Structure 1
Amino acid sequence: MNRTLFDKYFPEIVVISTIIIFVISLFIMKSVIFPFFAAMASAYITFPIFEFFLKLFKKRQIAAVLTVVLILVAILGLILVIFPVLLKQIESFIDYLPVLVSKIDFYLAKYLGKKIFSGRFNPGNMKSVFSLIYRNFDINNSITVAALVQKIFSGVFSIASIAINIVVIPFLSYYILVDWENLRDLYLKLLPFEHRAETAVLIDKVNDSLSGYIRGQLLMAFLVAVYFSITLTAIGIRYSFLIAVVAGIMNMIPYVGFFTAFVPSILLAIFDNGDLFHIVAVGIVFLSEAALENVIYPMVMSRTTGINPLLIFFAVFFGATYGNFLGIIVAVPVVAMILPVFDSFMMKKEMKT
């Protein structure tokens, strides 16, 4: 018996509608939805750790508590260790940038007979611009972590909501980890009985795609940041930690992370260190990174459905244009969720009814 189109594509319609409603709600009610989004993201990312503790202790509550404690320790480490070092390097880089531009212009004038930056990007003016930006953001040596976070996320929530979220998000993460299976079953019970099994299969595919992509990208970002931080520091490239962190973050966009690190590194090797050893060393570091990533990336990302690089570029730019900072965060994960639904839809379309 032929099914109607609605019945045929019911799981795809329900899942894609849920994704759309969640994304719209996230942007419309940022302050309300964000704690749940952050808690779900934390629980989602750390679910393998939760499963490890669950096998070890056999109790979901104990496993969830230990997982949340690890999340809090990681956040505290980020705030107390990573942020201060990063801020110092940013401040130092802003002070040094006019000097670097002057050196580049000097060598261009020497070998090409022409200055590119002179009259357009005056080093003194550049420093003034960066200083003005810093003053506008009230970033100084006495800045507190709370103030910095508030400045960065001012479009998402206030200082008061940040304080509340710090308390609420760990509790929400705990309950999501403990009741994840119950929440999934409750969602399926809202659907007609005849569609539950097929929808459950599609949800699992979406879950595999999203989890594989997010965890894989986070692991790759961490590995890239650690690699560049160690190697660039070892060969004596200035601002190696800042370059490594930015490269790790930008690594979610194909090729961008590599060039984000390579361009400043090679410029510093040429115009700051100024010798053949550092230029060759930077070349070796980045050739090695490219070779290692070609080996490691398929191993780490083997669980993903494979997102086309052009689609990632489009998603990131679309998210940045229409969703600002929050849009950049959710753009590619949303694509990772939609792809299995699209694949399922196309498979059914090609099947004979």
Structure 2
Amino acid sequence: MPKQTYEIAVFPGDGIGPEVIDATLTVLQACQERYGLSLNYTTHDFSAELYRRTGKKITAADMDEIGEQADAVLFGAMGLPEVRGPEGLELGAQVEMRAHYGLLASLRPVRLFDGVEGPLKDENVDMLVIREISEGMFAGLADKHEPSDETATDRMTITRATCEKLFDVAFSQARARRKRGTPGRVTLLHKSNALRSNVLMEKVFDEVAAKNKDVDSQKFYIDVGSMYMVTDPQRYDVIVSENIFGDITSEIAAGLGGGLGIAPSADVSLTHGVFQPSHGSAPDIAGQGIANPIAMILSAAMMLEWLGEQHDDDRCTDVAQRIQAAVETVLANGPWAKDLGGDAGTQEVADAVTAALAGK
């Protein structure tokens, strides 16, 4: 049921994270004032910078408390290349949150908007990459690690249970996209010719596809499938893949759509959602006020759309669509951030989106 007020946990993070979060919150504030939406924010600092200063990082108890209190998480960007844990991996609370909340699918829509120049001659880029985020090549992150300068291993694990849920999401998303005019097709990118885990993934995909015959499906090996993304992007509507493959292909897709600065994402389960831009913390431009906030703003729109679905709340759905339309107006007419060839600063772009919401 719709709620009077939605509780939003905000993680500003590192680098440009706080800047794009602040810009996005100004857009959301305008939506609250104009459309009667009520959002209450609680800010949490579990950044890499905090770990560098104090050695503190997010705990299971922290995530339990946040999960009980928050309806959704709005996540800026986290991680600093030089700040790493004992095993040499970058620190980032999003990885812990994916495991703790059972987030199984990262939804990463990419579209080449009017006014944005892509790298391909074919400008018909409109796809959704669904990256599995709880297993795959990241499955062994919590395994016991024996430091060595001679050998190191990672573990790829695929389970039927997670695949079934993942593919259900993919076919459901394809149906929803078909209503908006896309082909409504699901493509599995995999490597079953070389990886035993992917043999199981392909088998489960075939089984789920057989139960969803109203939706077209196809399969490609990840190598040739990646090539098709560049040579023939119209082959794709919904792409679904293993964790590491999905991580890479979603970045390729973002490049086809004009870059990570306008690429949003949503990490979801049936009950929890974490919404963040696909880009990283970009510490090299932090504090300059030039980061593109569009990916973060679109991620916030995805959050509202998800809240609308979770709580049967048309207000959230309507505002999500209004934000999306306002972003499209700004991308078509400017001002554009530096990564899109313009000279507008972070807040200037956000202010333009707010003005577009008001029809100015």
Indicate whether the TM-score tops 0.5. no
Q: Greater strand share, 1 or 2?
A: 2
TM-score bracket for this pair, using the shorter chain length: under 0.3
TM-score relative to the length of structure 2: 0.21
TM-score relative to the length of structure 1: 0.22
Q: Greater helix share, 1 or 2?
A: 1
